[in-house]
């Protein structure tokens, strides 16, 4: 049974319609990357090949959100089973609370520079996905990304906007010599490229070619690993080639809750997908008759707040978690958290169960394979560290570690931190409905919850589910809402005690993609984010 929605209902302003296809589909935030993935399908590749090709292209055509030095996660539907891949890296062995405090950081790790860089997981995750499920050699799969890096491409409008913001910010904040390679790579003339202007990165192309030809071995054990090691030693960073050599992506069992007959799937911790599942479990106890009502919004927000503070307290490296996942997702605990939701906004506190800058893409092929894939440098361009001559922009995931030794997510050498990026997947009666995701830092579980409810509770088609105005809880009683949210609803939420902040820009509310598949006909229906340059490429 497929998801039920009205394909002709478009209740929200949008420039886009649902896109349909039969043989294959790729949805992501950048048109050139989507088309590259579709080209791989037409050349005989499958959804996994298309996902890797699209992800690699995104490191070139949307470097404001991800890079070769990223982490990633994937949910892969193959032969009637869902597989999870954790492509996040661990803290370097030399990175400890004591070492960080000796550098003068007493309360948190810095956002930029050498210190917050953990082991990048993406290149090896690409190779692992290709090895286990791909059809084409990695050299063919990465060829489109190499071509864009080598020969250049014109910037799309939203990309140019965020590139400009990053350059202006980095000019103020990144003053050390260790950041020179970032400016040489992404602002070689001291200015960002503009919309429609060609940009290329020969070093990026060289690195991607090496990853393709060695199945990422060069990045973790060979010449590239040596370059990374040398640069971090030069500027007293912590990452070493031994840390790179020790890294392996992990195949994991996805976690899920059943929400009104649909199974909603997420990657388990250290990802924050657990928060989306707990929030859905809490709201399942309410009845919703319409999406655009103050009661619906209030109950959604309150449930998300309660789930989020739990996640922020307990989510960390799965080997270090003190509370079992199944307890946080249990009916009994959901009832306990739900009982805290009344008519007024609350300031949430974490409960205790009784023990007993990201890119997202979705792909599908004619054989029924589907991929939900997410990849990120974290805060836009990440740490601001680029390995000279390589195009490798390093992520800054270590910033999420706590320096409080009593916190579940405290920094330890070799540990994985709480991770914001999460791919989602929907099934019904053991059949794939399809991949979905909403990127954007701590917005992601909030976006997942809203998209799932738009689909399951309110029967919106994939495009309308993404078009709908979003809200984002930040802390306490503060809730940011998009300007497109009707004023009377924002005012009604305020009367319930919410501190409503109306945003002038939709960028902070995430960028999502959806592909649903009809199991009877094989027809694919895709939606893409109106808040960015996205595209659904279909065949």
User: What are the residue numbers of the active site?
Assistant: 358
Torsion angle, CA of 533/274/481/467, rounded to 10 degrees?
A: 40
Q: Work out the end-to-end distance of the chain between its first and last CA atoms, rounded to an integer number of angstroms.
A: 23
- Assign 9 a pLDDT band (cuts: 50, 70, 90): low
Does the pLDDT of residue 343 top 70, yes or no? Answer: yes
Give residue 356's pLDDT. 39
Is residue 7 predicted with pLDDT exceeding 70?
A: no
Q: DSSP code of 69?
A: B
DSSP assignment, residue 108?
Answer: B
Calculate mean pLDDT across residues 467-477: 94
pLDDT of residue 225: 98
pLDDT band per the 50, 70, 90 thresholds, residue 8: low
Please give the C-alpha separations between residue 280 and each of 274, 304, 314, 329, 452, in angstroms, as whole numbers: 10, 8, 18, 10, 9
Average pLDDT over residues 314-330: 93
| Mean pLDDT value of segment 505-513 | 87
Least confident of 199-208, 247-256, 351-360, 522-531: 351-360
Interatomic CA distance for residues 278 and 260, integer angstroms: 14
- Residues 51-94: pLDDT tens digits? 999 999 999 999 999 999 999 999 999 999 999 999 999 999 99
Contacts of 146 (CB under 8 A, 6+ apart): 205, 208, 209, 212
Confidence bin at 11 (pLDDT 50/70/90):
confident
- Domains of the chain by range and CATH? 22-251+362-400 (no CATH), 253-358+421-523 (1.10.246.130)
- Rounded Cα gap, residues 451 and 444, in angstroms: 10
- What φ, ψ does residue 24 adopt, rounded to 5°? 180, 160
**Mean local confidence (pLDDT), 27-46:** 97
Q: Check pLDDT > 80 for residue 423.
A: yes
Reference 396, options 412, 417, 378; nearest CA is: 378
pLDDT digits (tens, 9 = 90+) for 376-417: 999 989 999 999 999 999 999 999 999 999 999 999 999 999
pLDDT tens sequence across 131-187 = 999 999 999 999 999 999 999 999 999 999 999 999 999 999 999 999 999 999 999
pLDDT-derived band at 504, boundaries 50, 70, 90: confident
pLDDT tens digits for 190-235? 899 999 999 999 999 999 999 999 999 999 999 999 999 999 999 9
Per the prediction, the chain carries an average pLDDT of 94
For residue 355, is pLDDT > 70?
no
Q: 521 phi and psi, to 5 degrees?
A: -105, -20
Residue percentage of the chain with pLDDT more than 70: 97
Which sign does the torsion angle of CA 446, 447, 448, 451 carry?
positive
pLDDT for 441: 84
C-alpha separations of 272 from 138, 266, 417 in Å: 30, 9, 11
Q: Name, in order, each residue with C-beta under 8 angstroms of 361's C-beta and a sequence gap of 6 or more.
A: 26, 27, 28, 29, 33, 34, 37, 51, 54, 55, 58, 371, 373, 374, 437, 513
513: nearest Cα among 120, 49, 51, 190: 51
pLDDT of 10 > 90? The answer is no
Model confidence at 1, in pLDDT bands (50, 70, 90)? Answer: very low
Closest to 489 in 3D by CA, of 502, 476, 475: 502
Q: What is the pTM of this model?
A: 0.95
Residue 474: phi and psi, rounded to 5, are -115, -50
Reported as a pLDDT band with limits 50, 70 and 90, residue 432 is very high
pLDDT at 265: 98
Region 504-523: what's the mean pLDDT? 91
Which two structure tokens, joined as six digits, stand for 358?
């990201």
* Tens-place pLDDT, residues 178-191: 999 999 999 988 89
Residue 6: count of CB within 10 angstroms of its CB: 12
Least confident of 62-76, 346-360, 466-480: 346-360
Q: Inform me whether the pLDDT recorded for 365 exceeds 70.
A: yes
**For position 12, what pLDDT does the model report?**
74
């Amino acid at each position: 049974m497929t998801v039920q929605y009205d394909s002709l209902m478009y209740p929200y302003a949008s420039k886009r319609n649902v896109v349909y296809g039969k043989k294959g589909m790729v949805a992501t935030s950048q048109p050139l990357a989507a088309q590259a993935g579709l080209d791989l399908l037409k050349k005989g590749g499958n959804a996994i090949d298309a996902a890797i090709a699209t992800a690699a292209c995104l490191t070139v055509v949307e470097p404001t959100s991800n890079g070769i030095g990223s982490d990633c996660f994937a949910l892969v539907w193959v032969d009637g089973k869902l597989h999870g891949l954790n492509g996040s890296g661990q803290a370097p062995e030399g990175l400890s609370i004591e070492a960080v405090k000796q550098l003068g950081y007493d309360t948190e790790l810095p956002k930029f520079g050498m210190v917050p860089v953990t082991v990048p997981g993406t290149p090896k995750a690409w190779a692992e996905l290709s090895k286990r499920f791909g059809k084409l050699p990695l050299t063919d799969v990465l060829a489109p990304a190499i071509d864009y890096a080598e020969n250049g491409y014109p910037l799309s409008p939203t990309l140019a906007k965020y590139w400009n913001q990053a350059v202006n910010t980095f000019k103020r904040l990144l003053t050390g010599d260790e950041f020179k390679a970032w400016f040489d790579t992404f602002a070689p003339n001291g200015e960002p490229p503009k919309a429609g202007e060609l940009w290329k990165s020969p070093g990026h192309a060289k690195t991607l070619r090496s990853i393709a030809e060695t199945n990422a071995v060069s990045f973790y054990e060979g010449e590239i690993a040596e370059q990374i090691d040398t640069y971090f030693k030069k500027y007293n960073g912590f990452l070493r080639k031994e840390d790179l050599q020790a890294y392996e992506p992990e195949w994991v069992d996805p976690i899920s809750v059943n929400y009104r007959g649909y199974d909603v799937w997420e990657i388990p911790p250290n990802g924050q997908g657990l928060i989306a599942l707990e929030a859905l479990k809490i709201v399942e106890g309410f009845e919703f008759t319409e999406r655009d009502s103050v009661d619906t919004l209030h109950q959604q927000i309150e449930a998300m707040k309660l789930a989020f503070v739990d996640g922020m307290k307990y989510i960390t490296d799965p080997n270090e978690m003190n509370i079992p996942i199944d307890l946080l997702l249990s009916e009994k605990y959901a009832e306990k958290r739900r009982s805290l939701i009344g008519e007024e906004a609350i300031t949430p506190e974490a409960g205790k169960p009784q023990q007993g800058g990201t890119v997202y893409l979705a792909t599908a092929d004619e054989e029924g394979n589907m991929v939900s894939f997410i990849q990120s440098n974290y805060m836009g361009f990440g740490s601001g560290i680029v390995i000279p001559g390589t195009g490798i922009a390093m992520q800054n995931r270590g910033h999420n570690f706590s320096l409080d030794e009593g916190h579940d997510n405290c920094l330890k050498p070799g540990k994985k931190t709480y991770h914001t990026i999460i791919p989602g997947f929907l099934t019904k009666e053991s059949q794939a409905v399809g991949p979905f995701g909403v990127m954007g830092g701590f917005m992601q579980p909030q976006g997942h919850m809203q998209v799932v409810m738009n689909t399951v509770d309110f029967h919106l088609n994939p495009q309308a589910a993404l078009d709908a105005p979003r809200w984002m809880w930040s802390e306490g009683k503060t809730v940011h809402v998009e300007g497109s949210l009707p004023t009377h609803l924002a005012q009604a939420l305020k009367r319930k005690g919410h501190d409503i902040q109306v945003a002038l820009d939709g960028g902070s509310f995430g960028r999502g993609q959806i592909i649903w598949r009809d199991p009877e006909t094989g027809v694919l229906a895709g939606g893409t984010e109106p808040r960015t340059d996205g595209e659904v490429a279909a065949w």
